Amino acid sequence: MTASRLIDVFDPRTGLVDFRLTVPEPEEVRSLAGRLRAAQPAWHALGLEGRIAVMQRWAKAIESHADSIIAADSRDTGFGQISRIAPAMMLGFLRGTCAQAPGQWAAAGRSGVSRTQPHIRYDSVLKPFPLVGVISPWNAPTMLSMLHAIPPLVAGCAVLVKPSEVTPRFASAIKSSFADIPELRAVFDFVLGDGATGAAVIDNIDLLSFTGSVPNGRRVAEACARRLIPCELELGGKDPLVITATANLEDAVSAAIRGALTSTGQVCFSIERVYVERPIHDAFVKAVVERASKIRVNYPNPLEGQLGPFISLRQADIVDAHLDDALAKGARIVAGGKSQFLGGGRYMDPTVLTNVNHSMIIMREETFGPVIPVMAYDTPEEAVALANDTAFGLSAAVMAGTEEEARAIGERINAGNTSLQDAFLTFAAGPAEADSWGASGLGGKRSGIQRYLKRQALLLNTAKPTCLTTEDLTAA
């Protein structure tokens, strides 16, 4: 008999192991998937109205479990900023999905008369994918797992979530929130493990939602392609912020600080490149350095300060390597610096760089840390070219003197959600349904619950069936 494999999980604040998970065998994942799949027809049979009623009961339960969800997510992330609002975001998304679902369901249906054969009428039946898998990342575990689990549940699918092995603690708190809702408990579950567990999930589902890095996303896409199942990939970003000379300087600094430093920069749509029109470049750098100096890490008190530790120690190494490469190529650090150990956790002060260019890794690859590289530009055309000089296209931002000026630049940037007169607005995008560009994503572009529904066409002949005859063959 094969011995169980254990994974040590580290507390990002202390660097100590405080959680240990047992990696399930593939047979265990298959069994769990089979149980969820077997329960899905009854969940689908409740109808959309019935499922919404169950989800509304869950919303009330989440309210009563909010403190435990915050506590678990905070342990996972080192008391990151998003942890404190995770239940509220989850509730807003759940209730919003339920409110929009009837309209989306109606819009997904099709009916009418054939344009070429008027005696043929058609309508459609919507059928949910039986079992949806969700592989979620470590940077905002509750929010990003529920973002992809809630819509398929409303659509009538069963859902199996595999969290990152770096941040698995939140799963227990989420499961506790629906433990007293048998209809939901039958079709919704979590499985803890590593990449091998994720592979086993892919082997047993009908559609996958994956959020993570580009290299892992490629591997996931290849595995789904082998099974010929659809996948949604939300991958990395290298989001630009363009600031024109006419922009309000104070507002531009606020947008840059919030966009780059929220949750220690460990957000896929964090601002990672700032392009400032040359006449205000020096003033912007001075102001952003002054504002950054007031931002503190949340050590030793996790409830004081704005920047938590790196959730993953490996990510701190990546950010430090990006800084080393930039400095070696002529960049200058004007605030902050490389990561440091505090009480066993890895922290970084807000770090501002100047003299950067696109030969540097820090301007081309995802950094995922509290770093603000600032580069001057001379014309709007140059700003757009710099913003588009990337393999990514998740989101972007523009600050200008007027909405019209910001829009004229924003429309030319190849990115999904593009914030105008602010940054980091992707959380508010909702039904905007933006498409990612390049290496930032793939699939999942239909609205809300529609992406989890397959449409079956029913064709009705209102005349007598025709018979294939010799004359038909001659005419053909």
CA gap 215, 219 in Å, rounded? 7
Measuring CA to CA, how many Å separate 465 from each of 112, 114, 124, 386?
A: 19, 15, 21, 62
CA gap 333, 324 in Å, rounded? 11
Catalytic residue among 98, 231, 268, 405: 268
What angle (nearest 5°) sits at the alpha carbon of residue 365, between those of residues 361 and 370?
Answer: 90
CA gap 449, 114 in Å, rounded? 27
Beta carbons of 211 and 144 less than 8 angstroms apart:
yes
CA gap 396, 345 in Å, rounded? 31
Q: What is the dihedral of CA 370, 168, 58, 176, to 10 degrees?
A: -140
* C-alpha atoms less than 13 angstroms from C-alpha of 459 in its C-beta half-sphere: 9
Q: 186: which 2 tokens? A: 């039958």
268 is catalytic: yes
CA gap 352, 273 in Å, rounded? 11
CA gap 419, 417 in Å, rounded? 6
250 is catalytic: no
Catalytic residue among 183, 232, 234, 277: 234
Amino acid found at 1: M
How many helices and strands in the chain, by DSSP H and E? 15, 20
Catalytic annotation, residues: 234, 268
